[in-house]
Every structure is written in C-alpha cells, then in structure tokens.
Structure 1
Amino acid sequence: MKYRALLLAAFTFLSVSSGMSMAADNKQNLDSVKQKIQMSLGMQVTSIGDAPVPGLLQVQTDKGLFYTSDDGKYFLQARIFNLDEGMRNETETTLTKMRIDGIEHFKDSVIEYKADKEKYVVNVFTDITCGYCRKLHNQMEEYNDLGITVRYLAFPRAGINSKPYQDMVSVWCAANPQKALDEAKGGENVAKASCSNQVAEQYNFGQSVGVNGTPNIVLPDGSVVPGYQPPEKLLQAIQHAS
C-alpha cells in the first residue's frame, strides 16, 4: 500500500510540475509574440490569447483585433466564421464584448441626449466636422421622440492633437458640454476650454474596436451600424438586433 501511495504521489507531483512548466512556456511564448508585434508594428497589445481557431492567437491592440500564428511569424487581419454554429462571426462576437465593456468604462464621460420616454440607448462615435454627424445631430429630437437616447463618444477623425481634436476637448470641457456640442455641430467657433478629459481615450478605444469613420453607431447589444441612419431606420436596426 505504501509503495502504491508513493507511486501515486510521484505521479501527481510530475503531472503538476509538467502542467506548471507548460503554463510557464505558454506565457513566455505569448510575451514573446506580444513584444514582437509591438516592436515590429508599433501597436500596443492590450490582450493576447488563444483564438477560436487552433494554432492561432487572438490579439487585441490599440489599432483593432488581429490574429497571429502561435509562433508570431504570420500576422492576420481577418474575420473568423464558425460553420458548425450557423456561420457565427467569432470575430464580431469578440468585438461586441469589447465594445460593451469599453462603453461601460466611458459612461460618465459621454455627452448624452436623453429621451423623455427612453426605450433604447445607442452610443455614437462622432466628429464635430463630419457632415453626416451633423445631419444625425440635427434630427436629435426625432430620435428622442422614438425613445432613443443618444450618447456621444469623441472620435476626431484627423487624429490626436489635430484642430478638431483640440476643439472636441474644448467641447467636452465646456461648462455646458451639450450646448457647446450643439454650437460646434452648427458650425460655430468653439470657445477654448481645458480640463481632465477622456477624449483621447475615447478615440483610441474607437480605433481598438474597428471604428474608422463617423458617425459610428453602437447598438445596445454591442453590434455596430456604420454611418448615418435616419431615425426610423435606426429604430428598426435596434429592434432587429434586440
């Protein structure tokens, strides 16, 4: 009995040690691939781990969602579909979760136009110089009348430190951000203002979840409707996604 107990203990020790060694090797490989991507491509990797496809790694970066071979040799920008699950878009599933989590982080730094009888909430990446963003904004009362609350996140298309970026910082830092945004989208000059703000963070977050133009509308379930949508069509899109 003692002999069998010793054998069992030895086997358990070897199994645990082997598991720990494999975990350490896996972490070392992930760290190596992460470093390679950051050094070679200048991207900041926020998360790296197994992809839905064996042999691939899923990489979340400040420039979007990508995949690599497990040795970091090949870098892919792709969409992964699961044929066994009715062509489920695995890439979009991941991005949807990223959007929902990220939007929650910015809930206190959006500029909100709340519907009196709120039924739905959409988050819109916007730029004050964007023509279709202004068109959407001019119909705000119609969206609100349909029960749609609109929350704006900043996405200055010209990038960080551009004039639109500086103007959007001033809007977000204004004593009355909603009024300042109304005026900016109406083509009026933006009064300079500064404060601690998350405009750059919102812009970077948008890039990380695939935003490359405005308006970009994130529906309540985390899916996206790119581009301007008239009030009734947006309502239909929300209801279809619900």
Structure 2
Amino acid sequence: MGKFIYQFGLAIVLLSFFGSADATSEKQIRAELQKRLGTSANVRNVTPSVIPGLFEVQVNNEIFYTDSKAKYLIQGEMIELATGTNLTAKRQEDINRIKWSELPQANAIKIVRGNGSRQIAVFSDPNCGYCKRLEKTLQQLDNVTIYNYLIPILSADSALKSKQIWCAADQQKAWNDWMLGNITPSGKSDCTNPIDKNAALAKTYGVNGTPTIFFADGSRFPGAVQLSDIEKKLASLK
C-alpha cells in the first residue's frame, strides 16, 4: 500500500454505517451499499481496487471506494505515487466514455468550419451562460465539425427557445443569433423536433450540467472549457 495515497479535500465524504455487514463478495457489497444508500443512488458496479481489501464502487456516474463489509463509503482520489497517475480520474474518464458512433447526428445542429475534419459534440441549454461563453470560444476553432445537441434543463423557456431554434428555416443562424448576438428566437416551435430525445440521451450519458463536450474517442469535457484544452485534446486524437 506504500505506492498509493488518498488525497481528501473539502469534498471528501466519509460515511460510517452502524451495525454489522457480512458482505464477502462484490455482489453482496453492491446489495449492501444499495440498501444503505437508498433508491436515490444507483450502485452500478463493484470491483476490487488495486489496494487489497478496498473496492471501487460506481454510484450513478461517480467513483467511490468501500471496504469488504460495506461499512464505509470513501470519496476521494487514488494516486499511484510511483507514476503520479490519478487512478480515480482515469477510471472516471473510462466509465463516462460514450460510443461516438452511436450519437444520433441527425438530432443535432451541425456546424462545419474549414474542412470539418475534427469532430466534437456539445450538449447545451440555450439559456446557459456558460454555454454562451463556450460558444464564443468555439468560434475560434477551425477545420472542425460541431454537433450541437439542444437539451433544455434550466427552464420551460429553455425548451421553447430550443424548439424555436430547431424549427427555424436557418438553424445555424438562429443558434448563432441567440448564443452570440442575444437575438431572441421568435419563430414557430411546433415543428417535429428531437428536443425530448436529446434530453433523454443526455440523461443516459449522465449529462447533468451544460455545456458538456464529447470528443470522437468518446471522452468528455464538462463546462466552459478553455480553447487551449480543446485544441490539445483534438490534437491528441490525430
């Protein structure tokens, strides 16, 4: 265990459960944790970690750790000191990865710049301030194809704007007018649209905040990411 360290900051949660627990297998640990955490948590998977006696737990789309009797739930990062590798972050990235080929591209507003060779998908709420900030950043990308998936998670007005933008004769213009120029969409909103499907897809992918960017390797960046970080990621995919 000398190779590993737990770094616990302000976000650390250590929950001690009272009473005996006889969990001796991954299946039993999972069942015990599910019972203790309740229906609001989905204990999706339990596997042995690299530290003997400590188990990795996937709750919803987050990584935690527990002991063999499911008495403690630990939130924090596991670092391999020999290499400096953040094992928790790596596993978090793995479980949050999607299959790019399964994205329903017809349900997105497609924007192509230059030769369009580089691809990203962005899940956005039109009323999200961080989404507008990211949109300004994305204007600086060249040779890229951007698939914008409208997901109204903030308000009923977000749903209305999403539908109006989708129903516009020129979707790209309506999108850019609102996100970059603050020109409120005013057209119809009753056309056939994928907004509900996009919201369901976002839920499936565990997207609970906007914006969220997906790359062609299935990895994701949450939030209004810096241009340099996006460029670095795209360069790594060549």
Q: Shorter-chain TM-score: what band?
A: 0.5 to 0.7
Q: Say yes or no: does 1:95 pair with 2:92.
A: yes
Q: Deviations over 1:177-219 (max 9, x none)?
A: 9446446534325743466613133045244xxx64x333344
Match of 2:144 among 145, 148, 167: 148
Deviation at 1:172, TM superposition (A): 8.8
Aligned to 1:106: 103
Greater mean deviation of Cα atoms: 29-38 or 126-135: 29-38
Name the SS of the counterpart of 1:152 in structure 2.
strand
- Find the partner of 1:70 among 47, 51, 68: 68
What amino acid maps onto 2:95 in structure 1?
M
Q: Note if contact 2:100-2:216 (Cα within 8 Å) is conserved in structure 1.
A: no
Residue 32 (structure 1) aligns with: 31
Distance 1:181 1:55, change over 3 A: farther
Alignment of 1:1-242 (within 5 A): 26-39=25-38, 42-62=40-60, 64-84=62-82, 86-101=83-98, 103-108=100-105, 109-138=107-136, 140=138, 142-143=140-141, 146-154=142-150, 156=152, 158=154, 162-163=155-156, 166-167=159-160, 170=163, 174=167, 178-179=171-172, 181-182=175-176, 185=179, 186=182, 187-189=184-186, 191-193=188-190, 197-203=197-203, 205-207=205-207, 212=209, 214-221=210-217, 222=219, 224=221, 226-230=223-227, 234-239=230-235
Deviation for aligned residue 1:29: 0.9
> Contact between 1:67 and 1:76, CA under 8 Å: does it hold in 2?
yes
CA distance in 2 between partners of 1:77 and 1:164 (Å) = 36
Normalised to the residue count of structure 1, the TM-score between the two structures is: 0.64
* TM-score, length of structure 2 as denominator length: 0.64
Q: Give unmatched runs, 5+ long, in structure 1.
A: 1-24
CA deviation vs aligned residue, 1:53-108 (integer Å, no higher than 9, x gap): 33233233335332222322212222222223x11122222222233325554344
For 1:34 and 1:97, the matched residues in 2 are separated by 22
Q: Deviations over 1:33-66 (max 9, x none)?
A: 3522551x61123333233433233233335332
Structure 2 unaligned blocks of 5 or more: 1-23
CA contact 1:30–1:49 (8 Å) conserved in 2: no
Q: Which has the higher strand share?
A: 2
- For residues 103 and 123 of structure 1, what CA distance do their matches in structure 2 show? 9
Count of residues paired in the alignment:
207
Kindly indicate which of the two structures has a greater share of residues assigned to helix.
1
Distance change (3 Å), C-alpha of 1:97 and 1:165? farther
Once the two structures are TM-superposed, the CA of residue 241 in structure 1 deviates from its matched residue by: 7.2
- Evaluate the alpha carbon distance shift between residue 91 and residue 139 of structure 1 in structure 2; reply closer, same or farther with a 3 A threshold: closer
> What residue identity is the alignment partner of 2:32?
V
Q: Percent identity?
A: 19
Distance across 2 between alignment mates of 1:237 and 1:46:
29
Give the aligned residue type for 1:57: F
